[in-house]
Structure 1
Amino acid sequence: MGITLNSDERLDTVPGSCYKIIQNIKKFSYGTDAVLLANYCNIKRGSKVVDLGTGTGIIPLLLVGRFEADKIYGLEIQKDMAEMAERSIILNKLQDKVKIINMDLRNVSDFFKKESFDVVTSNPPYMVNGGGIINSDDNFSISRHEICATLEDIVKSAEFLLRDKGEFYMIHRPYRIADIIWNLRKYKLEPKSICLVYPKIGKKPNMVLIKGVKRGNPELRFDDPIYVYNEDGSYTDEIYKIYRMNKEKNDG
């Protein structure tokens, strides 16, 4: 299908699939965190899924290539990002499986019925609004700082959307773990598993993957940690596996 790229856009391959994704070189692009989050999910066949703050649409594109979900929705407040994500969906002819909606995730009750989804995912802004340096470019600010939605907003929306025993998957920063667990329990999303992600052995973790279950029983487990890089700066075998890359090809 004919899709025209703007002058600042490029076409990338979605890791582990034949799908393509449109990205703007002047705006926020997806990173390793999105790939790790999609890999952490375990979505049953026929599930109804929604990604909160979908950005370029990378999470729906990763999930549709790995799981046989019935329908995946991507919610994005930035109109230009939502439009770009929608063009990626059209490019890959996935309109029957993925739908991008330009909306404020805080208003999910205006668009969806309560408890109508099996899985909610989110790769949200990590920084509390007012913390760190605010980029003058609104796209980068919204993507990195809690300007349009706080951590609590995201968890509250997930609670509204999820069916009983529905699953919530999120990636965030380790220094927010206390806030994450407090909010999850406040909104009846019982924390069930946590996985710490380390840049390399000997370094402190810089990402945390977490799964919550709506009205789940209290029982939290810690999964084996993930290390992204070896000492020589190359990807670890686990990251090659997650990205579904050919190690020999990429090393050579």
Structure 2
Amino acid sequence: MKTTFELNENERIDDLLAGGLKIIQHKNEFCFSLDAVLLAHFATVRKNSYGLDLGTGTGVIPLLLSPRVRKMEALEINPVTAEIAVRNMQLNNLADKIRVQQGDLCRIEQYYKAGSMDFVVSNPPYRQINQGQLNLLDGVARARHEITAKLDDVVRAASYVLKYRGRFAMVHLPERLGEIMVAFHKYKIAAKRLRLVQPKRDKSPNIVLIEGVKDGAPGGLKVEPVLVVHEDNGDYTKPLLAYYYPDRLAEMEGR
């Protein structure tokens, strides 16, 4: 893996609109979306905690969580995006705080100790291989479909590294919520928070955010208010403006 910052062909630098953070992305690889931003804001991350991002891609979630953590690990199977994630940490002067590991979460035991993490986050592939058409770009296909890791693998890996009462937060599809609950129960993660996300008020939810506690007591699931992304005119709602443009929201509310 390269350890020096450089911008290669087909790469660009985007502004994360969060504390001056920037991110390198490759046009032929999977680029982060709203889902990752929602997860970063949803996850319960206590100050000075130590955590892991499973399937980090180019490292967007650790970047967004960096002000709130003591240290963080990031695991990514795709060597191309893992190398970009390394440079993203260097670009933002976070290489000492966030360590990127290229590797397979299905072999989690090779990289991290059991019970070593305060929290785990993951924006995993959403769709089973037989659902929808696979993208022709290999990296994008692996990020969207369960080619290298299934839902069960992700939850198992999270459970393995979590401390007692550590937290696991994940973003996924509402249609797979039943499978998620089964996997949580199988690996002794008690679901404690759930939030559905709608693109507009008159649209059905297309994203689910869920968080559970390792070895937590059963019951006590809190279903939070639905998060609406866009107003009817296409503008971001206030919660989304707070994520992306807090200064603009402050100006609007100050009028």
The residue number in structure 2 matching 1:70 is 70
Output the CA distance in 2 between the equivalents of 1:195 and 1:246: 25
Q: Which consecutive residues of structure 1, in runs of 5 or more, have no partner in the other structure?
A: none
Q: Which consecutive residues of structure 2, in runs of 5 or more, have no partner in the other structure?
A: none
Alignment of structure 1 residues 5-44 onto 2, 5 Å? 5-44=7-46
Output the CA distance in 2 between the equivalents of 1:9 and 1:246: 29
Q: Are 2:209 and 1:196 aligned? A: no
The residue number in structure 2 matching 1:181 is 181
| Contact residue 4 and residue 87 of structure 2 kept, 8 A | no
Paired residue type of 1:50: L
The residue number in structure 2 matching 1:154 is 154
Tell me the CA shift for residue 31 of structure 1: 0.6
| Contact residue 28 and residue 137 of structure 2 kept, 8 A | no
The residue number in structure 2 matching 1:171 is 171
TM-score normalised by L of structure 2? 0.94
Alignment of structure 1 residues 86-97 onto 2, 5 Å? 86-97=86-97
Deviations 1:171-219 (A, max 9, x none): 0000000000110011000000100000001100000000010011121
Paired residue type of 1:63: L
Q: Are 2:241 and 1:220 aligned? A: no
Paired residue type of 1:216: G
The residue number in structure 1 matching 2:53 is 51
The residue number in structure 2 matching 1:138 is 138
Q: Are 2:237 and 1:233 aligned? A: no
Paired residue type of 1:222: V
Q: Percent of counterpart pairs with the same letter?
A: 39
Root-mean-square deviation over aligned CA pairs: 1.8
Output the CA distance in 2 between the equivalents of 1:180 and 1:248: 35
| Contact residue 20 and residue 92 of structure 1 kept, 8 A | yes
Output the CA distance in 1 between the equivalents of 2:76 and 2:112: 15
User: Relative to 1, partners in 2 of residues 1:224 and 1:140: Cα closer, same or farther, differing over 3 Å?
Assistant: same
Output the CA distance in 2 between the equivalents of 1:136 and 1:41: 32
Indicate the SS of the match to 1:23: strand
| Contact residue 71 and residue 98 of structure 2 kept, 8 A | yes
